[in-house]
Structures are given as C-alpha cells and as structure tokens.
C-alpha cells in the first residue's frame, strides 16, 4: 500500500449523472488506487433507487404519558419551539408521513411544569418511523402542569376542648382557594379548621395549618390566623364596672348619713346651752 499512501485515500463511488427516476444497477468504481496496483471491489455493482425529492412543512405533535401526572393535577398548555418543522426526502417517504412527534419522558407523580429538549421522529399513519430529513432534529418542549380545578371556600372552626357557644372565632384570611379534583370541589363549600380552646381565658390569636383533605391537592395559603375570643370576657368587664358603681353609691350614702348625724348633734348641743342660760 506504499503507492496508495493510506486506506483513506481509496474511495468507492458510482456515477448517477445520466440516470433518471427509478431503480438502476450501476457499476462501482474505485478512486485513489495507484495505477501500478491491481484492485477489485465487491460487490462490483449496486442497485440505486432515484426518487423525486419533496419537502413539506408539518406541525410538531407533543406526546406524553398522562398516567405519569400526579393525581389531582392535569397538563394545561403544551408548547414546542419551534412549533413547525420542514421534512424533506424522497417524494414517497415525505407523502407517507402523517405527523412529526416529540415524545416527552416523564417520571411518575409529576406536579410541576416540565421543560425538555426532545428528539423528533416522523411517523406514518400506523405510528411507524419514516426516514426523512427534518429541519430541526430536536425541539424544546414545555408542559404546563397545574391542579385540575379550583374553588374559593369559606372557613369554619371545629372547637376542641371547649363549647363553641363560649367562644367567638374569626379567621384571616376569611376565605381560601382550594385546588384539586373537580368532583371533590363541587361537593365541598367549607374548610373545617380545628381550633383548640383549652386553657384560653383571654382573647388569643394563633396561626393554624389548614388540614389536608382527600381530593384537594393544595390551597392558596397553607396556614391561617385564628383569633379566639372567650364570650365571658365582655360580661366580666361589665360586672366589674357595676360593682364599682355600687361601692361608690354606698360610700356616698354613708357620707350623707354621717353628715346628718353630725348636724343633729350640733343642734342638740345648742339646745342644751340655751336651757342652761335660762336657768
């Protein structure tokens, strides 16, 4: 191989310049072999099919396994960049393509949006891959994963360790938005918040976590502020004020009686003096 320099210098080629559309048996020629060497090629002929070239613009179809999406969640918008691609190749192949898909690979229990670079595959009506050229072999795909449905709900207190008639309960915020299954949300209007009133004798504010509920995957807030006001707080204040007033009245009465008594003693003393002078 000294005269040929290296294997890379030897090339097998066929001449198709004079051929038209259809199948042709053509002779294989070697290039790069030194004329002083004898060479052979196997096979000596090959069958070549020449087809009319065609191209077509097609949208990208995004494919994913819905069972991989977490319970209570759904995929909203799906986008690919670019949205359309151009396929090209033999006319028969291009015409056999029904769609170009981008299959997104997902883990189980997806709850958040997904972005991936996905390889494109051209397929026929039966889902079989078709050999064509694609202008963009890969595209960037985004799946917007979100809760299935939402609903604004009121809050209600479930009193523990006390009588609900003995307390006034208020919430901040007064309502929250729940996200989850449509069927579950339709059947629920109120979220029950457990409130422990044990050992509470004065107005108290606490932060309480909203309990989980089957079919609801999340809330607009995870915690709410709960203000607990015992009903006897206001009555105790009124009773104390009344007692003070009574004491004041009693004191005034005693003062009046004392003054009256003193006045009577003074008058008696004056009378005694007059009688003495008369004698």
pLDDT band at 6 (very low <50, low <70, confident <90, very high): low
Distance of CA 275 to the CA centre of its chain: 107
Query: Worst-scoring range by mean pLDDT, 65-79, 96-110, 199-213, 242-256?
Result: 242-256
Residues 86 and 117 in one domain: yes
Say if 113 falls within a structural domain: yes
Q: Which residue has the tokens 């189980």?
A: 108
Q: Please compute the mean of the pLDDT values over residues 144-173 and round it to a whole number.
A: 93
Task: Quick: pLDDT tens for 126-146.
Answer: 999 999 999 999 999 999 999
CATH number at residue 105: 2.170.120.40
* Mean pLDDT, rounded, of the chain: 82
Residues 171 and 214 in one domain: yes
Q: Please compute the mean of the pLDDT values over residues 214-233 and round it to a whole number.
A: 90
Q: What is the pLDDT of residue 255?
A: 41
Task: Give me the number of domains the chain comprises.
Answer: 2
Q: Greater confidence, 202 or 267?
A: 202
Q: Greater confidence, 32 or 127?
A: 127
Q: Are 85 and 135 in contact (CB under 8 A)?
A: yes
Q: Are 142 and 64 in contact (CB under 8 A)?
A: no
DSSP 166: G
């Amino acid at each position: 191989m000294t005269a040929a320099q290296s294997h890379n210098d030897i090339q097998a080629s066929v001449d198709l310049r004079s051929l038209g559309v259809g199948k042709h048996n053509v002779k294989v020629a070697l290039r790069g072999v030194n004329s002083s060497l004898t060479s052979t090629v196997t096979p000596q002929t090959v069958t070549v099919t020449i087809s009319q070239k065609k191209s077509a613009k097609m949208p990208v179809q995004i494919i994913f396994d819905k069972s991989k999406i977490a319970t209570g969640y759904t995929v909203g918008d799906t986008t690919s960049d670019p949205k359309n691609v151009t396929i090209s190749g033999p006319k028969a192949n291009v015409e056999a393509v029904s769609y170009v898909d981008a299959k997104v690979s997902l883990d189980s229990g997806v709850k958040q949006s997904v972005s991936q670079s996905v390889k494109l595959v051209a397929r026929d009506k039966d889902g079989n891959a078709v050999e064509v050229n694609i202008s963009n072999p890969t595209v960037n795909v985004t799946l917007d994963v979100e809760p299935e449905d939402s609903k604004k709900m009121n809050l209600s207190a479930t009193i523990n360790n006390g009588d609900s008639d003995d307390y006034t309960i208020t919430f901040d915020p007064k309502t929250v938005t729940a996200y989850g299954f449509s069927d579950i949300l339709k059947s629920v209007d109120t979220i029950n918040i457990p409130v422990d009133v044990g050992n509470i004798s004065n107005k108290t504010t606490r932060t309480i976590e909203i309990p989980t509920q089957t079919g609801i995957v999340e809330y607009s807030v995870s915690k709410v502020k709960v203000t607990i006001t015992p009903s006897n707080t206001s009555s105790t204040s009124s009773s104390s004020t009344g007692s003070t007033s009574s004491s004041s009245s009693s004191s005034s009465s005693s003062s009046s009686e004392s003054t009256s008594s003193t006045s009577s003693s003074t008058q008696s003393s004056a009378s005694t003096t007059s009688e003495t002078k008369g004698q």
